[in-house]
Structure 1
Amino acid sequence: MKKSTIGFIVAILIVACAITSSTFIQQGEVVAANDTATNPGWSKVFFKNVKKSDLFVTNDQGKRVTAEITLSNKGKTAHIKGIEPGFYTLNVKPRAVDGKQYGAHTFKFTIDEVLPRVATEKELVAYFERVKKQQSTLFSAPQEAVKEESEMADSATENAAGSSDHSTTNNQVAGVDEADIVKTDGDYIYAVVGDGKVSITDIRDSKKIQQAAVIKMEEGFYPSQLFLHDKTLVVLGERYEPYREEKQAASSDRIMPVNSMTTVRLYDVSNPKSPSLLREFGAEGYMNGARKSGDMLYFVTNVHPYFWALDHFDGDVLRPSMYDSKESSDIQLVDYKNITILPGATDPSYSVITAIDLSSPTTNKVVTKGYLGSSEQLYMSKDNLYLTATTYDQQQTSNAGTSNMTMMWNPGVANTELFKFALKGTDVTFHSSTELKGRLLNQFSMDEYKGNFRVVMTEGTMWDDKNPSKNHLFILDQNMKLTGSVEGLAKGERIYSARFMGDKAYMVTFRETDPLFVIDVENPKAPKVLGELKIPGFSNYLHPLDENHLIGFGYETVAEKNPNGGEPFILTMGMKISLFDITDFANPKEQDTEIIGGRGTYSPIQYDHKALFQHKDRNLYGFPVMVYDEIGKEHYVELQSMGALVYEITPENGIVLKGDLLTKNTRGEQYTEWDEQIHRMLYSKDDLYTISMKEINNYSLDTFAPIGSMKID
């Protein structure tokens, strides 16, 4: 993606008010920027007799930048022109005013990249017509590439939960909560249990857990994830709405399309036995992800308008829709002023970002913005939201026997666009973007630390001998500009998991063995590989135990001789837990391992980090699991048992099994019903709880002996 040159004019108005943080500025805005709290008296004399020569601008590294500064409003307003998006400081030199000497002073501000807005329906239609024309020349990507891309995207993420008297979701970033199918406040368990229901279970008396209430949704609404905010239960789900009315002239046998509406319902659970609906709102599209930081709730949806239906439907089918029961029962269209085009966007789709302050759930405004351009992975810190989109190189080929030319994707040449949005309450502002070579695995491939953004990526495909895959680590500054990188690692392999821990990065790649790379990222300009460990198998989820140890969840592998010669066959065997000692960064070690079952064994933890149970005070880590093993010599696998396992994992004693909550398979079935499987585990006080769609069981955390059981609904 190439950025266009955009001019910026910033007006900084000096008034008598205190602002302690950076001011976000976009073209044409005038904002208050005086800091009277640290420099009392400045408000009266700051721009008295000021000259342009008294002012200069520096960037976030303290270096002067070339900027055109003009003054207006009798010297009270400074206009700054000709600087790129980024973090800046307006500096005022020491000066004497009315015989009194004043020292130097500074005003911090931020320039955000200005996106082109879609001002009218005509402009929006023109965008989609242009995209439609581009896409009509493209074939689909070859199936192999699509499959590998899907596998990479499904190998999801990880944690930052602290100690308390009850479980919290295994979040990636401390202070940023992620939506999940189960939440608890220690007294009640709130769980999405299928069939359009949310169950509330009273666990205050662990010996007599009982169902407090069941929230039954009407047909057509499918709850999928939850947040718990004080006494407000946030239920996120999908609702399907018929598209706008089809025109009379349209074909009667045309299938009537529907659009997905990501819906949020807020329930008052101050009395969990009688939850009451407070409000409902939503945004069109399938949910990409949701986060909650403090009082703020953010969620992102992906919308694919039926732009082919322009001639068949009344109304505006190109704008995404939204609704809020507080404002109206009718669905509304996102205003043109809230629709902009992401840099380099060539997709007939939107990334829609919605925000609300939950401190007053019934009255605060819901803010929805639409960005033309697709998005895939999502990462959020307390201050910024990042979205990614994969772009493919295009190759021109001629059609045999004709003079026609066709464009098709080249799956081996894929780049990733990254978009950064600054968060200030419900004000979500596009900040900057960049494009990097390669593809991301999942949200754990990204991390923000001390203002820098770090990311690991795989370039190319593993099985391309002429152009083998390779892996990179990039570090970007606050303005998404590259500052340093480590490139070309583990050729012929791809990334299976990654984890950033402060000034260190850990990355697992795999093809025949599992190299664990330890990378020093303390100096953003010069990251470097410190150590590498090669072992059989691979980890597809990395979890920090402490600053010197990592836990890896993945699979054991064995290499079998290829009867036709060439590379050996790699067989995936049982589930593997690895304890990595990274005390000596140059020589990481696999301190201990645990192999569970044989071929076919799997756990949700291998693709969903939220399935990890942890009790840090007790050093306990657990997960649901389905155990398979081979029967006979024909490599036939059979289900042995199902349930959950809990381990004590410490640097001193390694990996020790503490709780075996498996039930042997006596029915001869090869698979269990989804609603019978354990999906989450949590603790409250001294009890462990396992949650399936049909029942909740609890056990003693001291002995793991069963205490009780409750059927749901």
Structure 2
Amino acid sequence: MDDKFLRDRIRDDEVDVPESLLPENISKKLDAGADNTKKQGVKTLSRNIRSIALAAAAVIVVAAGASMVSRLSPKNTSGSNEDMYEYEKMLETTTEETTGVTAGMEMTIYDELYEKLIGRNYIDDGYYIRNDSDITGSAETGAGHYDSAVNENVRNDITTDTASGSESKDFSKNNDQEEGVSEGNIFITDGKYLYVMKKPDDVYVGTRSVSICAVDGGALDESSRIQLDKLAGYEYVDYNTMYVDGNVLVITGYAYSRYAYEPGCISFGMFYDISDKEAPKYINMVTQSGYYVSSRITDGVLYLISHYTPDYSCSEGEYESYIPMYDGMLAGEHNIYCPEYVNDRSYTVIGSVVLKNPMSYKDTEAVVLSSDNMYVSENAIYFLSYQPYMWYGYEIINDVENDELQTDGVQSEGITGYETEKSRSRLMKFSTENGNIEYAGETEVCGSADSQFSFSEYNGYIRIVTTTYDYTYYEPSCGLYIFDSDLKLVGSIEDIANGETVKSSRFLGNMAYFVTFRNTDPLFVVDMSDPADPVIVDELKLPGFSEYLHPYGEGKMLGLGYEADESNGRVSNVKMSMFDISDPYDISEENRLQLEAYYSGALYEHRAILVDAQRNLIGFSTEENIIEADETGANIVGKLAQIYRLYRYDDNDGFVELIECVLDVYSYDYPRAVYIGDYLYIFDGVESIYTYELNDYSLIGVTEF
């Protein structure tokens, strides 16, 4: 294919192509090496530009239609974007009938979002390549648009100060990842009361409630019960978690009518004044579009995060079908952010509520992003979203091939680029100071994260451990990346543990500990004292792997996970390990214990794990088959049981079991435990609390709700 061929096809098809897009002019512009002006946070990948430009010109020849508008916008180029967009702008004037936008009519941000997420510009492989400015900026909030400033129903009688009373100072805290960032739970204590979210066996059908129970010497007395019923207009409702912040009780959840990810699904936060524990008072409920993802409370502010999927069958102008809503009103135009490259047509929806005034949202932000993982620090929320592979030249090759035009040179270069490319994710940051949610930047990072524990913010840096796959052999490797507060890459280590994946991570100050796995369990230690030059200082290989790591006092790290066969990697029983990390340059496994249990759901829900090094208590539930007599006592039968286990740790004796509590019901939320003084309370996750004396570990009684 040469320039003459392209000119002939353009002439024959009578396509009026701007002079700047003729092949020779594109080549000149590329040779000039003009800088590519990019929005902050979007990584530039410039490859094979000359061949790509010729292929792009070929696409103009063979397509010449509105359906190719998006594909003509380069994902990455070292030339100027303006000329590459001229052809798109020309096509826009010929496609008004398909877009429904009248010539000369100013598009609102809502209309523009329709074009980008639902209309003609969305391409099949999952990417919309933008051809104009970001959907950001400000706009006046009109009628029916959510603006927290107009909601001024202020409650001044609510206090989030710690409730007074004779509560014990010796009680367990929630197992939160970061100090000062509460993650909520279904079983909480403030040292005087137990707060219990009761769920039936079928979490979607049945009565739910929150009980507030006074405790006295191991005895429980239910002070009050809050009945949690269905929400009007919704067939199903699920209550996920709750928080107690002084005299405010917060309950979060979601409701829907057919399926959880439907466009009409909402997430909510309910607020109760519990100054009088015997008579809680309902204050307010806030709602936002989408399926519940998570929530946090930091410095007296609730952050509610949901995932909203628009109705893709809607028509333009039906804003309520594809724009997120807060309290039944459309998100303000100035509170919607669309990144430069879109790989999903859904939103991550964020709302903040000040607990001292929960009558409305403090701030809102909806971002066109489907997040795979999130991490919350005291002043920021980070989202990590997997990015499907799309090398610009490779996509153009597909267009040419579809029209049976052959460009062997470009094709071979595209395949080479594909073979060397690795999986990537977009990291996006929102600052949350004082409840104000502000976009703070984005960047790319190789790979994807295992969990929220793969992230850590420390001294102005965000550190991430990831697993990366190449796209040819799907072979994994691991890496650690350090970004500054502006998400600029400062330092990294790549190609760690080739062939293995990250199973668990923990950051302690300047040290990172993470476990990878294929057949064995290497525990890596990285010194990040110099963020620009992180260094692997030790590696410990063991059978199996740890799914969860938790610091245990001075110089020790607890690992909970599974044993595995070193020859083939086959996973077997649950195991506990205690690592000596007193010298990060020479770590070792002090003790390990293999359990009879084959599974523990608590390893994937850290809030169901009790770890208190000061009291020397480690508690979590396991699942295993047990043998017992049937109801008649005549036959021996096996059944699946959840068992809550409590341990202490001794340097010489290792893990010592203190309590084995076989629970009568099965909970998909996993049993939890808290202690107050010398008593341990085990909640089965459904309807009962088992009370144990911690002096002799005897069962005192069982309370049903």
TM-score when normalising by structure 2: 0.69
Q: 2:351 matched to 1:317?
A: no
Q: 2:368 matched to 1:372?
A: yes
- Deviation, structure 1 residue 437: 1.0
Specify the SS of the correspondent of 1:425: helix
Q: Is the 8 A contact 2:622 2:642 kept in 1?
A: yes
Partner residue, 2:438: 429
Partner residue, 2:557: 550
* Pair 242,486 (structure 1): closer, same or farther in 2 beyond 3 Å: closer
- Deviation, structure 1 residue 439: 1.0
2:516 to 500, 509, 512: 509
Which has the higher mean CA deviation after the structures are superposed, 129-138 or 287-296? Answer: 129-138
* Pair 377,656 (structure 1): closer, same or farther in 2 beyond 3 Å: same
Q: Deviations over 1:518-543 (max 9, x none)?
A: 11011101100001111101001000
Q: 2:219 matched to 1:214?
A: no
2:526 to 519, 529, 534: 519
Partner residue, 1:449: 458
2:122 to 133, 157, 161: 133
Partner residue, 1:339: 336
Aligned amino acid, residue 238 of structure 1: Y
Partner residue, 2:386: 390
Partner residue, 1:594: 593
- Deviation, structure 1 residue 5: 4.7
* Pair 608,242 (structure 1): closer, same or farther in 2 beyond 3 Å: closer
Q: 2:697 matched to 1:704?
A: yes
More strand by share: 1
Runs of 5+ consecutive residues of structure 2 not aligned to the other structure? 1-35, 42-106, 128-167, 200-205, 406-410, 628-636
Q: Deviations over 1:349-400 (max 9, x none)?
A: 11111011112334x643222112222211111122111111010365879x
- Counterpart CA distance in 2 for 1:203 and 1:710 is 13
Aligned amino acid, residue 671 of structure 2: H
Aligned amino acid, residue 575 of structure 2: K
Partner residue, 2:189: 184
* Pair 476,652 (structure 1): closer, same or farther in 2 beyond 3 Å: farther
Partner residue, 1:569: 568
Specify the SS of the correspondent of 1:682: strand
Aligned amino acid, residue 121 of structure 1: Y
* Pair 293,372 (structure 1): closer, same or farther in 2 beyond 3 Å: same
- Counterpart CA distance in 2 for 1:625 and 1:652 is 25
- Deviation, structure 1 residue 649: 2.1
Q: Is the 8 A contact 1:493 1:511 kept in 2?
A: yes
Specify the SS of the correspondent of 2:614: helix
- Counterpart CA distance in 1 for 2:247 and 2:429 is 32
* Pair 285,412 (structure 1): closer, same or farther in 2 beyond 3 Å: farther
- Deviation, structure 1 residue 701: 1.2
* Pair 131,444 (structure 1): closer, same or farther in 2 beyond 3 Å: farther
Q: 2:488 matched to 1:460?
A: no
* Pair 579,321 (structure 1): closer, same or farther in 2 beyond 3 Å: same
Aligned amino acid, residue 210 of structure 2: S
The number of residue pairs the alignment matches comes to 530
Partner residue, 2:537: 530
Query: How do 1:141-540 and structure 2 match up within 5 A?
Result: 164-194=169-199, 195-219=206-230, 220=234, 221-240=237-256, 259-310=264-315, 314=318, 316-323=320-327, 331-362=328-359, 365-394=361-390, 403=403, 413-460=422-469, 466=473, 468-540=475-547
- Deviation, structure 1 residue 629: 8.3
Partner residue, 1:582: 581
- Deviation, structure 1 residue 640: 7.0
Q: Is the 8 A contact 2:553 2:613 kept in 1?
A: no
Specify the SS of the correspondent of 1:484: strand
- Deviation, structure 1 residue 181: 1.7
- Counterpart CA distance in 2 for 1:412 and 1:629 is 49
- Deviation, structure 1 residue 595: 0.7
Which has the higher mean CA deviation after the structures are superposed, 637-646 or 191-200? Answer: 637-646
* Pair 470,242 (structure 1): closer, same or farther in 2 beyond 3 Å: closer
- Counterpart CA distance in 1 for 2:172 and 2:487 is 35
- Counterpart CA distance in 2 for 1:258 and 1:418 is 25
* Pair 6,689 (structure 1): closer, same or farther in 2 beyond 3 Å: closer
- Counterpart CA distance in 2 for 1:385 and 1:678 is 27
Q: Deviations over 1:500-555 (max 9, x none)?
A: 00010001000011000011011101100001111101001000113421100000
Partner residue, 1:67: none
Q: 2:610 matched to 1:605?
A: no
Runs of 5+ consecutive residues of structure 1 not aligned to the other structure? 8-117, 139-162, 244-255, 324-330, 560-567, 631-636, 666-671
Partner residue, 2:44: none
- Deviation, structure 1 residue 308: 2.5
* Pair 433,402 (structure 1): closer, same or farther in 2 beyond 3 Å: closer
Aligned amino acid, residue 436 of structure 1: V
- Deviation, structure 1 residue 286: 1.4
Query: How do 1:631-710 and structure 2 match up within 5 A?
Result: 639=639, 642-651=642-651, 653-662=653-662, 673-674=666-667, 679-692=671-684, 693-710=686-703
Q: Is the 8 A contact 2:642 2:666 kept in 1?
A: no
- Counterpart CA distance in 1 for 2:324 and 2:447 is 30
Aligned amino acid, residue 270 of structure 2: R
Q: Is the 8 A contact 1:342 1:372 kept in 2?
A: yes
- Counterpart CA distance in 1 for 2:118 and 2:420 is 25
- Deviation, structure 1 residue 686: 1.2
Q: CA RMSD in A?
A: 3.3
Q: Is the 8 A contact 2:601 2:670 kept in 1?
A: no
Aligned amino acid, residue 537 of structure 1: G
Specify the SS of the correspondent of 1:419: strand
Q: Is the 8 A contact 1:242 1:258 kept in 2?
A: no
* Pair 556,529 (structure 1): closer, same or farther in 2 beyond 3 Å: same
- Deviation, structure 1 residue 574: 1.0
* Pair 412,535 (structure 1): closer, same or farther in 2 beyond 3 Å: farther
* Pair 704,493 (structure 1): closer, same or farther in 2 beyond 3 Å: same
Specify the SS of the correspondent of 1:361: coil
How high is the sequence identity, in percent, across the aligned residues?
A: 27
- Counterpart CA distance in 2 for 1:230 and 1:350 is 33
- Counterpart CA distance in 2 for 1:571 and 1:131 is 48
Q: Deviations over 1:389-424 (max 9, x none)?
A: 11010365879x975799999998421111111122
Q: Is the 8 A contact 1:393 1:411 kept in 2?
A: no
- Deviation, structure 1 residue 172: 0.4
More helix by share: 2
Specify the SS of the correspondent of 2:423: strand
Specify the SS of the correspondent of 1:659: strand
Q: Is the 8 A contact 2:118 2:345 kept in 1?
A: no
Q: Deviations over 1:320-371 (max 9, x none)?
A: 1111xxxxxxx11112122121343342111111011112334x64322211
1:627 to 624, 641, 649: 624
Which has the higher mean CA deviation after the structures are superposed, 344-353 or 256-265? Answer: 256-265
* Pair 674,273 (structure 1): closer, same or farther in 2 beyond 3 Å: same
- Deviation, structure 1 residue 641: 5.1
